[in-house]
Amino acid sequence: MDFLSKIFRGDKIIWMIFVFLCAISIIEVYSASSTLTFKTDYWRPIMRHIMFLFGGLFIVLLVHSCPPKYFSVAALALPFVWFLLVAVKLTGTETNDATRWLSIGGVSFQPSELAKLCLIGTTAFFLSKYKNTRKNIHYHLILIAAAITCSIILLDNFSTALLLFIIVLTMMFIGQVPFTKLFAIIALCVLSGVLFASTINVIPDKIFQEYWSRPLTWKARAPMIFDRKTWSVQQELEQNAIKNDAYEVTDANYQVTQANIAVANGRIFGKLPGNSRQRDFLPQAYSDFIFAIIIEELGLAGGVFVVFLYVFLFIRTGIIAGRCNKLFPKLLVMGCALALVLQALANMAVAVNLIPVTGQPLPLVSRGGTSTLVSCAFFGIILSVSRYENERGIRREEEISEELEEQRVGGE
């Protein structure tokens, strides 16, 4: 048995997907970080990203060596994450009209990324207890945990709060929570959303500018939801301008327009890595819109391959979950897969102009810090479940342990 198989344990296909995503990330982030090189030297942005990927690899190796039963501690860590989420609202660093970063000892991180990890673990733990006992206390604890977490995140990060709510709701569906309860949750959330959007439209913009500016960003990004009349007039004006060849790129549509140009330039096989033109014009080309750069440089074929990696990750994780005998690791591993895949789909949908700009990075591909490390933790959990919670993984661990024991005895 070779040396690498003793270190990189767990499902080999998950490891292959992880390696492919990291390789694509290094190539595309290096290409898309041209705007950052003007502020520093040529190599610093990509070296920073590579360091985070190596740190993420260490997290994967550390997490995948822990049996899944220890991840239930997430339920105990969630109140501490709530404290961090509140702290970031009070003392955090503001970026793009949103306060999402918290600095402690010179180290900046996003508590909302940690909240994803803890809430998924908490939901899986209480769902496993709910299915075994059918006690409403566990169902209510899930709702309380999700409501508090998503409500705090919602103040500055609507897309993350919505994505996290969808993940929890899907996990409850997988955990066989009755449809009546799921429907009641969805109905309540839709009603609350309608009231929230109506309230934002009624309150004057001056009040938001003075006390809470984030709703103004939502109204600008999704006018079809908050102000349908203004949106209809805007759409008519834009269509007339396009017909008369008088369409101008404004601040409101600049990102989307540049991303569309990048996607259109890619065609089938792209311009090849390093030849993107829109990377110099597209804001956050190395993060929120990196999928547009991938299509421009690798073409439609490269874009489909990246989509395939995430879809196959979800399929393979489903197979791993199906082999689990215990409910908690089964729900946990599906929650981790949902977090990775749904976030990836949201990022891709923004890049090809299917949904409004959300600010969600492409997991493990976009340049990032906290998001990269948390994505690696999700991979580590999936690999841990593949090692310890299915017969094939257990047999593999026994074989490795026997070989290591034979080597130890032979060495003595």
The boundaries of the domain holding residue 37 are: 3-411
pLDDT at 395 over 60: yes
Indicate the range of 25-34, 111-120, 239-248 predicted with least confidence.
239-248
* pLDDT reported for residue 340: 96
Where residue 385 falls among pLDDT bands split at 50, 70, 90? very high
* Ramachandran angles phi, psi of 205, nearest 5°: -65, -25
Instruction: Please provide the average confidence, as pLDDT, over all residues in the chain.
Output: 82
Q: Specify the pairing of strand 107-109 against strand 98-104.
A: antiparallel
pLDDT tens digits, one per residue of 342-381:
999 999 998 888 888 887 899 999 988 889 999 999 999 9
Where residue 232 falls among pLDDT bands split at 50, 70, 90? low
Residue in this structure with the two tokens 């008369």, named with its chain if needed: 244
Among residues of the chain, what percentage have pLDDT more than 90?
Answer: 37
Three-state secondary structure call for residue 95: strand
Indicate the range of 101-115, 168-182, 223-237, 295-309 predicted with least confidence.
223-237
Where residue 102 falls among pLDDT bands split at 50, 70, 90? confident
* pLDDT reported for residue 167: 95
* pLDDT reported for residue 243: 47
* pLDDT reported for residue 106: 65
Where residue 224 falls among pLDDT bands split at 50, 70, 90? low
Indicate the range of 122-136, 174-188, 217-231, 321-335 predicted with least confidence.
217-231
pLDDT tens digits, one per residue of 112-168:
889 999 999 999 999 988 776 666 788 889 999 999 999 888 887 888 899 999 999
Which is more confident, 337 or 402? 337
Q: Given its phi and psi angles, is residue 324 left (phi above 0), alpha (psi -120 to 50 degrees) or beta?
A: beta
pLDDT at 177 over 70: yes
Q: What are the structure tokens assigned to 317, written together?
A: 């994780």
Which is more confident, 32 or 164? 164
- Calculate the alpha carbon distances from 388 to 4, 9, 245, 274, 328 in Å: 19, 10, 62, 42, 13
pLDDT at 242 over 70: no
Q: What is the mean pLDDT of residues 279-291?
A: 86
The answer to whether 163 touches 346, Cβ cutoff 8 Å, is yes
pLDDT tens digits, one per residue of 43-100:
888 888 999 999 999 999 999 999 998 898 888 899 999 998 888 877 766 665 556 6
* Ramachandran angles phi, psi of 100, nearest 5°: -130, -15
Q: What is the DSSP string of 219-276?
A: HHH-HHHH-HHHHHHHHHHHHHHHHTT-----TTTHHHHHHHHHHHHHTTT-S-TT--
Q: What is the mean pLDDT of residues 387-410?
A: 69
pLDDT tens digits, one per residue of 248-265:
555 556 788 888 888 888
* pLDDT reported for residue 187: 92
Where residue 412 falls among pLDDT bands split at 50, 70, 90? low
Indicate the range of 106-110, 140-144, 228-232, 323-327 predicted with least confidence.
228-232
- How far apart CA 254 and CA 251 sit, in angstroms, is 5
pLDDT tens digits, one per residue of 288-320:
899 999 999 999 999 999 999 999 999 999 999
How many structural domains is the chain composed of?
1
Q: What is the mean pLDDT of residues 5-9?
A: 75
